[in-house]
Amino acid sequence: MTFGEWQQLSPEAAAREVRRRAEAHLSAAQRRAALAILLDEPALTAGFAAAPAGSPLRGVPYLLKDLFDVAGMPTFAGSSFLPEVRPKPVGDSQFVRELRAAGAVLAGKTHLFEFAWGLTGENAHYGDCEHPRFPGRTSGGSSSGSAAAVAADIVPFAIGTDTGGSTRIPAAFCGIYGYRGAPRDAWVSDAVPLAPRFDAVGWFTRSASDMRSALAALVGIRVGERAPRGCYLDMPGLDPEVATACAAAATDLAPAADAATRSELLDKFAPSAEIYGVLSGTEAWKIHKKWADRYRGRYGPLVQDRLDRARAISQAQVAAVEPSQAALTLAWRRFFLGYDFLVMAASPFPALAKADCTPANRLRMLGLTAPASLGGLPVLSIPVALPSGMSTGLQVIVNNAQSPVIPWALGSNRS
């Protein structure tokens, strides 16, 4: 169902439909893995009834990644202990307040990779969140429950975050649209942080038109006076079917990068996974060091391993990657002097089986997503179908959230 179709329902019918879809479209185990909280029918009905008349997202139900506070609800951030060490929420986060003002109706909260510190849907505490159409394969993460809920058509809209790819990877794996905003935005300032330098709000929709509606309501859309100029960067290391599908899909958006541009970007992007690992790990350690020893047995094994690695990052390691980070930032600045956007693959492969959620494949994913994260850039994710029936995606990377490239890439004013 689209935004418009949900908006045609009465509050009572919409509330029943959210509950019905959650029970019908996900197994009991996957409801536990994907949904942290699903409001009951009376609370949902009240929420739909209270949506302001005439608001742009009036009556559109959404699910919220459990990094954002909602009054009366705990915030676990995919962990087993966060409410024990963090004050109980006394009010809604700023983004939740703005969503309510826009008319969107909170249906509940979604689970995530613990503390948002991963790109798969794995979670040792609540169960692994799987692709709704391919059981045994991950939804992607860390915004796993939000992506799975939209892909399963439980709600048409769900909120995530993106630090190193946490909307882009699940959007690609689940075959839906995703958006990553700019870091240090007020919307993410009161969410549970992973690495504040890179954390950004994001969201998912099933269709381009719904993504455009969400962007118009929340970010604002500017239409350019000319066709934007961009190029496609064919990154190394993609699975063959992904490389072929992404190159073909990109032709609707931009030509391939010229040799000089390609050489410059590939050179500066090459160390991005390493740079991101060091810089984000240092920031994440600052968040977790006060809990790391006391709650050592309460972290899941994947996050515990990342925590131990982050603890060991030295100032010498940080200093060693800073020149590469500065060079990458400069490369982005130079690129945007001549271009309006860059198109890249969003994932090097389709949704992974559990056994393939390895450190090596994590680095392959970060090799594609970390360049935009390190540049602090907004990204639109567009799904790309694969011959296997699975999916990947394209990243459309821009230099500001209100770039007219985004509505253009969604099909508006583009021949």
212 pLDDT higher than 60: yes
In this structure, what are the phi and psi dihedrals at residue 379, rounded to the nearest 5 degrees? -145, 135
139 pLDDT higher than 50: yes
pLDDT of residue 236: 96
- Count of CB atoms within 10 A of residue 252's CB? 12
pLDDT of residue 413: 45
397 pLDDT higher than 70: yes
Please tell me whether the overall predicted TM-score, pTM, comes out greater than 0.85 for this model: yes
Structure confidence by residue, pLDDT tens digits, 157-192: 999 999 999 999 999 999 999 999 999 999 999 999
Contacts 24+ apart (CB under 8 A), 18-21: 18/44, 18/61, 18/107, 18/154, 18/155, 19/44, 21/152, 21/153, 21/154, 21/155
Structure confidence by residue, pLDDT tens digits, 185-210: 999 999 999 999 999 999 999 999 99
415 pLDDT higher than 50: no
The residues annotated as belonging to the active site are 65, 142, 166
pLDDT of residue 223: 86
- Count of CB atoms within 10 A of residue 13's CB? 13
Given a contact cutoff of 8 angstroms between Cβ atoms, the answer to whether 351 and 131 are in contact is yes
pLDDT of residue 224: 81
Average the pLDDT over 329-356 and give the result.
Answer: 98
Average the pLDDT over 335-364 and give the result.
Answer: 98
Structure confidence by residue, pLDDT tens digits, 273-328: 999 999 999 999 999 999 999 999 999 999 999 999 999 999 999 999 999 999 99
pLDDT of residue 239: 98
Structure confidence by residue, pLDDT tens digits, 5-28: 999 999 999 999 999 999 999 999
pLDDT of residue 89: 87
pLDDT of residue 356: 98
Choice among 84-98, 321-335, 400-414 with the minimum mean pLDDT: 400-414
Cβ neighbors of 251 (< 8 A, separation 6 or more) are: 232
Q: What is the mean pLDDT of the chain?
A: 97
